A and B are shown apart, each in its own frame.
Chain A
Amino acid sequence: MNKFWLTISFLILNIRAFAQEEVEMADQFRGEGKIYVVVAVILIILFGIFFTLIRLDKKITRLEKEVRNKEKE
């Protein structure tokens, strides 16, 4: 267990050390606000998929009802 904590604390130290160096990130891209374009595009695609799934869901529910009604008759 001690070894585990030792590893963890070592990793923490590591991360700190990394954080102090300048790591290249897409800062400019974000700063210009272009990231919102990406978010918007992905969200629209995601909503499209959700919409299709909901429609499929409704459709199969309707079919199930038809089968159930037939069984009753």
Chain B
Amino acid sequence: MNLVFALIKKDYLIDFRQKYPIVGIALYIFATIYISYLSFGNLINPSTWNALLWIVLLFASVTGIAKGFIQEENSSLYYYFLTSPSQILIAKFLYNGLYQLLIVGLTFVLFSIFLGNPVENLPLFMLNFSIGALGMGAAFTLISAISSKTGNQSTMMALLGFPVVIPVLIMAVSNSRNIIFGAGLTDIMGNLLTLISIIVIIIALSFILFPYSRRN
């Protein structure tokens, strides 16, 4: 467990010492939202608002997580001899989860400032939003491990990741739409449970498959 925390700390240190990954993502989110604000003005209906929010989140998390395994490839390979694959994966999951929550918070705040906020049941909306984001993070974790092996990481990341993340995205987006239009917890419970079980499947599969991606 200590090793897991050490790995998380290492990722954290790399990101915050270099600063540009974190600032880059923040700027990315800000730029996309600001462009939406400029092009939509205040004429935005809840459906569009919802769709835009998820699109911004999707692209922000792809760019955010893509670098996860890519930086491992050249700088810190020696870690791999000291730790087991499942420890590395747990560390990546936790770190990406935190990253996703950060992106969720930032996206939501900026969205509310620039494009308004049609949500009434805020806690439920944020719960669904965060679960969706965590699901994306989980799916992208293994994909980033795969795409780091190819020559063209960032393109491959989007290419391989988007089809795989669609099940998560469809459930989460339809939930969030329903919440905006006034659905309560009981209304979306079924969909939410399906969403969580898909995420569990993704995480379980990642643990089974990840060790194979490292072996040569």
User: Are A and B direct contacts in the complex by CB distance below 8 Å?
Assistant: no
* Chain A residues at the B interface, C-beta cutoff of 8 Å: none
